[in-house]
Amino acid sequence: MSVTDQSQTTSTTALNNRRWIYSTRPAAEVSVNNYRLEEQALDTELANNEVLIANRYISVDPYMRIQQSAKNNWEAPHPLNTLQQAGVVAQVVSSRSELFRPGDWVTAYTGWELFSKVHQNALLKLDPAMAPVTTALGVLGMPGRTAWFGFNDAGKPKPGDTVVVSGAAGAVGSLVVQFAKLAGCRVIGICGSNDKCDWLTKELGADAAINYREHSTTDALQSKLAEFSGVDIYFDNIGGWITDAVVPLINRRARIVICGQMSQYNGQLDQPELGPRLLHHMLYQRATIQGILARDFNHRMDEMVGQVAPWVADGSIKFEQTVVEGFENLPETLAGLLSSRNRGKVLVKVSEAV
Amino acid sequence: MSVTDQSQTTSTTALNNRRWIYSTRPAAEVSVNNYRLEEQALDTELANNEVLIANRYISVDPYMRIQQSAKNNWEAPHPLNTLQQAGVVAQVVSSRSELFRPGDWVTAYTGWELFSKVHQNALLKLDPAMAPVTTALGVLGMPGRTAWFGFNDAGKPKPGDTVVVSGAAGAVGSLVVQFAKLAGCRVIGICGSNDKCDWLTKELGADAAINYREHSTTDALQSKLAEFSGVDIYFDNIGGWITDAVVPLINRRARIVICGQMSQYNGQLDQPELGPRLLHHMLYQRATIQGILARDFNHRMDEMVGQVAPWVADGSIKFEQTVVEGFENLPETLAGLLSSRNRGKVLVKVSEAV
């Protein structure tokens, strides 16, 4: 039986799809009140080369909150009253593509919904034997790509460099910590709990970890960081007062990689917070600040996976996932991500594999 | 008569040297009160390979005020109770070097004094037939090097780029404006008077010039700048609220070159001013901020002079100098530089050529 035949057997039924619609712009913290849950009949008829997928794992990522800012970011803000866009890991339900068969594991960029119809060109097949399929949303997906190219291309590490990572226990930060150790750097992670500190130093190999809640002013955090005598690479996921503490400690020709500014996402992108001016430090140290986005390295995905997948397979790179159960929990899981409740990659399991 | 013989005939006399000693740290604006004028007998006896020079033109530069900050900058602060360091253009009085003869024009890094004894290796001979000797402190000296390499190496111009220059009528800024035009860019200069605006557009070829005193808030200046639809290169000499106006207007992959932060030199390097956070714009546009210092390109001086001197000779690059007369006016001229009273390169003539 051909794949096309299979798909045609399901082409006249309809599925009950559930979708989280982004409906109002959050003024500060995002919550379930900014979303509306819709139920929609999904006609399963497929166009040529189209595939129907059932989402199993749906991603929540900090960039989603950037896209909810009222101001343009890298593009126009996420439109209101449309499906919340997101990366997913899914299984093929039916297919009119010769490339995909029912049951295949795939990853795609669709959104917070149970089912999606996707052109074959927008699907990437996953091999569950190579790595857990969920890694396509983490270490072998967008966060991994961000960490790998952000750290290597923009960070330009050398053995012996001192690397400070903010948001070090997050999906990207926890990978940067490990990539930096593999590159022969000394690594100090900044995170928000003693448990995370222990994880960073005992499991991921960080040379030191600082709980910013125990050094909770710019001066206090800076004093603590100053024990490490200068920063060559600052990989910044957080921004705000934590970054204020790090910048005056940079070494000559330091590289500051702006990967995220999570401390600013709950309103301060629309109305910037005030902070101490810092550009003179760039002058003094002939240092560089570079902003990076995962999408800039889409075309180099193979390169990242080729490097990192063997390290995941042999345990050289550890990855941690926080899997929240239940489609209904997507909005609150995004909110929790932004208040850094979890460690590693956070995703939501929305249906059972078949 | 050999050069050595010549020097020996003057080796037992003493000259009355006058020196401006940097004596107290300014809390805000620098003034003559931060200096002490010393008269000192200078024994004219020379060591082997040493040269006695009479300074004719002495430089005042914004970086001098950075060095007076109480905090380390690219090195420790300028020591108190020592000669104010500075670049000079001088003539040789006597010499025990085979490389230099009395009357030769030279440039050196000595300080605010009438005479200096300098090892031959720390002197660069000038050819008055090639360009006015004062250009060694301007377009063919440190400011020229800063403008050339800062713009080209850090700015990475392409034809068609929109370039915004703050401090555009200054020694460095006025060269960046012209280098950018030669590179095929569209150039908008920001400066502090309508006279300077006219000079930038009518003499130096800027496509537009904005008097920030007529658009004197961040929002007003930003609205004016927004007419030019995005910034590819921002060459920043000023910082502060002017930079706040420019940064949100950067284009994808913009390059921000931090050459100076003059608005912050009168105290805010010690106690940073607050300003709106801006690092999220780096993320959105995958832009770069890079700090540069003239000294990083010392070893490429030949390259700059080889490129720029012919342009100076044929008038493709215009340079303007404000020459203040009188050694006694050095401290006040530095103060005036920081309140941007002048245009082009500012220097002080301290003695007559022979």
Instruction: Supply the CATH number for residue A65's domain.
Output: 3.90.180.10
B207 and B230 together in one domain? yes
pLDDT at A157 over 60: yes
pLDDT at site A214: 97
Q: How far away is chain B from the Cα of A149, in angstroms, using its nearest Cα?
A: 13
pLDDT at site A339: 83
Residues of chain A with Cβ-Cβ distance to B274 below 8 Å are 274-277
pLDDT at A49 over 60: yes
Q: Is A229 left (phi over 0), alpha (psi -120 to 50) or beta?
A: left
pLDDT at site A334: 96
Q: Where are the beta strands (DSSP E) in B44-199?
A: 50-59, 82-83, 85-95, 105-111, 115-119, 124-125, 162-166, 186-191
Place of tokens 């920001």: B190
pLDDT at B35 over 70: yes
B293: nearest CB among A272, A276, A283 = A283
A155 and A284 together in one domain? yes
- Average of per-residue pLDDT across A209-233: 97
Task: List the single best residue of A149, A237, A273, A283 to mutate versus B (max B Cβ within 10 A).
Answer: A283
Residue B327: how many other CB atoms lie within 10 Å: 18
**Do B283 and A289 lie within an 8 Å CB cutoff?**
no
Calculate the dihedral angle through the C-alpha atoms of B311, B315, B318, B321, rounding to the nearest 10 degrees: 100
Give the residue on A whose Cα is nearest the Cα of B262: A280
pLDDT at B153 over 80: yes
pLDDT digits (tens, 9 = 90+) for A275-330: 999 999 999 999 999 999 999 999 999 999 999 999 999 999 999 999 999 999 99
As given in the structure block, the two tokens for residue A11 are: 């082409």
pLDDT at A227 over 90: yes
User: CA–CA distance from B87 to each of A328, B109, B124, B142, B346 (Å)?
Assistant: 69, 4, 11, 9, 12
Would you call A267 helix, strand, or coil by DSSP?
coil
Q: Given B295, B312, B329, which residue is the final one in a domain?
A: B295
**What's the half-sphere exposure (Cβ side, CA atoms, 13 Å) at A131?**
25
A interface residues, B as partner, C-beta within 8 Å: 66, 72-74, 236, 239-240, 243, 258-261, 264, 268-269, 272-293, 296
Answer yes or no: is A94 within a domain: yes
The confidence band for A255, taking pLDDT boundaries of 50, 70 and 90, is very high
> Is there a contact between B288 and A290 (Cβ–Cβ < 8 Å)?
yes
pLDDT at A40 over 60: yes
Integer-rounded Cα Rg, in Å, for chain B is 21
**Do A286 and B280 lie within an 8 Å CB cutoff?**
no
Mean pLDDT for all residues in chain B: 95
**Do B260 and A283 lie within an 8 Å CB cutoff?**
yes
pLDDT at site B338: 87
Residues of chain B with Cβ-Cβ distance to A72 below 8 Å are 284
- Average of per-residue pLDDT across A48-73: 96
A151 and A61 together in one domain? no
- Average of per-residue pLDDT across B185-206: 98
Q: How far away is chain A from the Cα of B241, in angstroms, using its nearest Cα?
A: 10
CA dihedral sign, ordered B83, B85, B90, B93: positive
As given in the structure block, the two tokens for residue A61 are: 């990522």
Residues of chain A with Cβ-Cβ distance to B285 below 8 Å are 74, 291
Answer yes or no: is B236 within a domain: yes
**Interatomic CA distance for residues B338 and B266, integer angstroms:** 8
pLDDT at B261 over 70: yes
Mean pLDDT for all residues in chain A: 95
b/e map A97-111, b = 16+ CB within 10 Å: beebbbebbbbbebb
A147 and A291 together in one domain? yes
**Interatomic CA distance for residues B82 and A5, integer angstroms:** 90
DSSP A280: H
Q: Which amino acid is at B295?
A: R
pLDDT digits (tens, 9 = 90+) for A96-130: 999 999 999 999 999 999 999 999 999 999 999 99
What CATH number corresponds to the domain at position B164?
Answer: 3.40.50.720
Would you call B336 helix, strand, or coil by DSSP?
helix
pLDDT at site A341: 76
**Interatomic CA distance for residues A124 and A118, integer angstroms:** 11
Residues of chain B with Cβ-Cβ distance to A268 below 8 Å are 277
CA dihedral sign, ordered A26, A138, A293, A74: negative
> Is there a contact between B224 and B197 (Cβ–Cβ < 8 Å)?
no
A292: nearest CB among B66, B243, B286 = B286
> Is there a contact between A90 and A56 (Cβ–Cβ < 8 Å)?
yes
pLDDT digits (tens, 9 = 90+) for B70-125: 999 999 999 999 999 999 999 999 999 999 999 999 999 999 999 999 999 999 99
> Is there a contact between A114 and A53 (Cβ–Cβ < 8 Å)?
no
pLDDT at site B12: 61
Answer yes or no: is B274 within a domain: yes
> Is there a contact between B286 and B311 (Cβ–Cβ < 8 Å)?
no
Would you call A311 helix, strand, or coil by DSSP?
helix
Answer yes or no: is A69 within a domain: yes
**Interatomic CA distance for residues B15 and B41, integer angstroms:** 6
B277 and B256 together in one domain? yes
B257 and B167 together in one domain? yes
**Interatomic CA distance for residues A159 and A177, integer angstroms:** 14
* Run of H or E including B40: strand B35-43
DSSP string for A193-251: -HHHHHIIIIIS--SEEEEGGGS-SHHHHHHHHHTT--EEEEEESS-HHHHHHHGGGEE
> Is there a contact between A217 and A241 (Cβ–Cβ < 8 Å)?
yes
B173 and B283 together in one domain? yes
pLDDT at site A8: 45
**Do B292 and A273 lie within an 8 Å CB cutoff?**
no
User: CA–CA distance from B233 to each of A248, B105, B215, B225, B309 (Å)?
Assistant: 25, 37, 21, 13, 25
A159 and A285 together in one domain? yes
**Do B280 and A66 lie within an 8 Å CB cutoff?**
yes
The confidence band for A12, taking pLDDT boundaries of 50, 70 and 90, is low
**DSSP-derived pairing of the beta strands A115-119 and A231-236:** unpaired
The confidence band for B342, taking pLDDT boundaries of 50, 70 and 90, is confident
**Do A289 and B279 lie within an 8 Å CB cutoff?**
yes
Answer yes or no: is A226 within a domain: yes
The confidence band for B133, taking pLDDT boundaries of 50, 70 and 90, is very high
pLDDT at B11 over 50: no
B325 and B195 together in one domain? no
Task: List the single best residue of A63, A237, A249, A280 to mutate versus B (max B Cβ within 10 A).
Answer: A280
pLDDT at A137 over 70: yes
**DSSP-derived pairing of the beta strands A115-119 and A50-59:** antiparallel
**Interatomic CA distance for residues A71 and B338, integer angstroms:** 36
**Do B272 and A274 lie within an 8 Å CB cutoff?**
no
Would you call A43 helix, strand, or coil by DSSP?
strand
pLDDT at site A94: 97
Looking at the DSSP assignment, which residues form a beta bridge with residue A105? A91
**Do B272 and A291 lie within an 8 Å CB cutoff?**
no
Residue among A305, A20, A314 at smallest CA distance from A138: A305
Calculate the dihedral angle through the C-alpha atoms of B111, B114, B115, B116, rounding to the nearest 10 degrees: 0
Picking from A75-89, A159-173, A296-310, B333-347, which range would have the lowest pLDDT averaged per residue?
Answer: B333-347
Give the count of domains, chain A. 2
Query: Which domain, by its residues, includes B147?
Result: 142-295
Q: Provide the number of CB pairs (under 8 Å) joining chain A to chain B.
A: 128
Calculate the dihedral angle through the C-alpha atoms of B140, B142, B148, B153, rounding to the nearest 10 degrees: 150
B123 and B157 together in one domain? no
- Average of per-residue pLDDT across A53-75: 95
pLDDT at B10 over 60: no
pLDDT at site B5: 41
Q: How far away is chain A from the Cα of B268, in angstroms, using its nearest Cα?
A: 9
**Interatomic CA distance for residues A267 and A25, integer angstroms:** 10
**Interatomic CA distance for residues A148 and A306, integer angstroms:** 12
Cβ-based neighbours of B237, under 8 Å, separated by 6 or more: B62, B165, B166, B167, B170, B172, B173, B259, B260, B261, B262
pLDDT digits (tens, 9 = 90+) for B280-321: 999 999 999 999 999 999 999 999 999 999 999 999 999 999
Answer yes or no: is B315 within a domain: no
Task: List the single best residue of A75, A256, A279 to mutate versus B (max B Cβ within 10 A).
Answer: A279
Answer yes or no: is B314 within a domain: no
CA dihedral sign, ordered B108, B292, A224, B272: positive
Backbone angles phi, psi at B291, to 5 degrees: -90, 140
Answer yes or no: is B301 within a domain: no
Picking from A68-72, A91-95, B12-16, B325-329, which range would have the lowest pLDDT averaged per residue?
Answer: B12-16
**Interatomic CA distance for residues A114 and A22, integer angstroms:** 15
Residues of chain B with Cβ-Cβ distance to A275 below 8 Å are 274-277
pLDDT at site B340: 75
B183 and B277 together in one domain? yes
pLDDT at B9 over 80: no
> Is there a contact between B348 and B333 (Cβ–Cβ < 8 Å)?
yes
- For chain B, give the percent of residues with pLDDT over 90: 94
A121 and A211 together in one domain? no
